[in-house]
């Protein structure tokens, strides 16, 4: 009776929910116990044949934002999700990752009125949090594609949106190796669009290029520095160095046009035109590609007798001189394939 009077005499009616909120906080703060009758799913099983709870998973960002804004109706509105998180270790683990990343993103200032505004706080967010968030978005995209394939549904739109978010968020990471960690599964997951579609398979690439990261002291990682012409290696902040095994190249920008520069190409390519394929080009679409298809860009000139090629790729309003836009474009060129043109 005393406790009842205490609650009834409290000026703030929300306090009567404090015991329930404390209990829920304790439950959600630790991983739930596995049922003795049902073994836990590994991450591989979850992605390859396990149960993916898309309806609940997609509610996590909105639910977490409501919690961070201290919305008094959050628990009531998301009650089915809350009880699902108590019993589902897979979704609960995702909840913890999303909550940590979003909490840190907001704690430096006032909570934004719109969820999209959280990107403005990423500059002060710990890099490891951004990495975890990007990896989670890519994992979710893979789960969406696999479940859609099993159920003969179209999940391309949602998966594409998740991958785009991961790339956009990763662009805020200033360290190249952290961006690599954040997007390490991006190419593999992006290829699922091809694997699950009926598009005609392309012949194997003669060379596959990827961005060449720079170490802190300015030395190159992932390739061998050769005695190339200095024009092939302009200032790093306005170019994207790429490599394929021992071969090097670079992507530069002249006004709105992105240009590809390659050197030391095989003798059997010299005197021939080549086809360039940018795997993620159709995923992001910030570039008006030469010929309209990023998977089949024909060089405007043949490879010369020295194995060198310079050809435009397309036009864009993004600028390599802008650090975040450069990072965004670099992610788009995570896989650039070269083939002999028909």
Say what the pLDDT of residue 18 is.
Answer: 62
Residues, the chain, total?
342
The 10s digit of each residue's pLDDT in 97-154 is: 777 766 765 654 443 333 334 444 456 667 887 888 788 888 888 888 888 888 888 8
Walk across the sheet containing 336-340 and list its strands: 287-289, 309-316, 257-262, 247-254, 239-244, 207-211, 336-340, 274-278, 297-298
pLDDT digits (tens, 9 = 90+) for 241-290: 999 988 999 999 999 999 999 999 999 999 999 999 999 998 877 899 99
Instruction: Give per-residue burial for 155-164: e unless 16+ CB within 10 Å, then b.
Output: bbebbbebbb
Report the pLDDT value the prediction gives residue 33, as an integer from 0 to 100. Answer: 39
Q: In this predicted structure, what is the pLDDT of residue 310?
A: 97
pLDDT of the residue at 129: 77
Mean pLDDT for the chain?
75
More confident site: 236 or 89: 89
Q: How confident is the model at residue 193, as a pLDDT?
A: 80
pLDDT in tens, 57-82: 778 878 888 888 888 888 778 888 88
pTM exceeds 0.85: no
Q: pLDDT band at residue 12, thresholds of 50, 70 and 90?
A: low
Whole-number pLDDT of residue 235: 46
């Amino acid at each position: 009776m005393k406790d009842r009077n205490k609650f009834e005499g409290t000026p703030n009616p929300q306090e009567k929910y404090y015991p329930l909120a404390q209990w829920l906080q304790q439950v959600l703060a630790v991983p739930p116990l596995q049922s003795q009758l049902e073994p836990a799913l590994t991450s591989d099983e979850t992605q390859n044949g396990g149960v993916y709870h898309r309806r609940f998973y997609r509610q996590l960002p909105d639910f977490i934002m409501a919690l961070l804004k201290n919305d008094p109706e959050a628990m009531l509105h998301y009650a089915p999700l809350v009880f699902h998180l108590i019993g589902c270790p897979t979704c609960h683990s995702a909840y913890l990752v999303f909550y940590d990343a979003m909490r840190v993103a907001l704690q430096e200032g006032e909570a934004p009125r719109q969820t999209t505004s959280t990107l403005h706080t990423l500059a002060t967010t710990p890099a490891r949090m951004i990495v975890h968030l990007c990896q989670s978005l890519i994992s979710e995209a893979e789960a969406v594609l696999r479940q859609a394939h099993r159920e003969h549904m179209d999940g391309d739109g949602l998966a594409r949106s998740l991958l785009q978010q991961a790339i956009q968020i990763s662009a805020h990471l200033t360290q190249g190796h952290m961006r690599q960690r954040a997007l390490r599964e991006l190419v593999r997951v992006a290829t699922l669009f091809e694997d699950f579609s009926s598009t005609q398979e392309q012949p194997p690439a003669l060379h596959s290029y990827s961005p060449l990261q720079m170490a802190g002291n300015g030395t190159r990682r992932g390739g061998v520095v050769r005695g190339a012409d200095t024009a092939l290696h302009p200032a790093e902040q306005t170019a994207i160095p790429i490599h394929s095994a021992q071969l090097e190249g670079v992507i530069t920008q002249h006004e709105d046009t992105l240009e590809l520069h390659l050197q030391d190409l095989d003798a059997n390519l010299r005197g021939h035109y080549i086809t360039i394929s940018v795997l993620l080009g159709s995923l992001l679409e910030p570039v008006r590609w030469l010929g309209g298809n990023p998977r089949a860009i024909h060089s405007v000139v043949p490879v010369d007798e020295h194995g060198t090629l310079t050809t435009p790729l397309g036009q864009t309003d993004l600028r390599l001189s802008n650090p975040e836009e450069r990072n965004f474009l670099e992610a788009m060129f995570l896989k650039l394939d070269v083939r002999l043109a028909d």
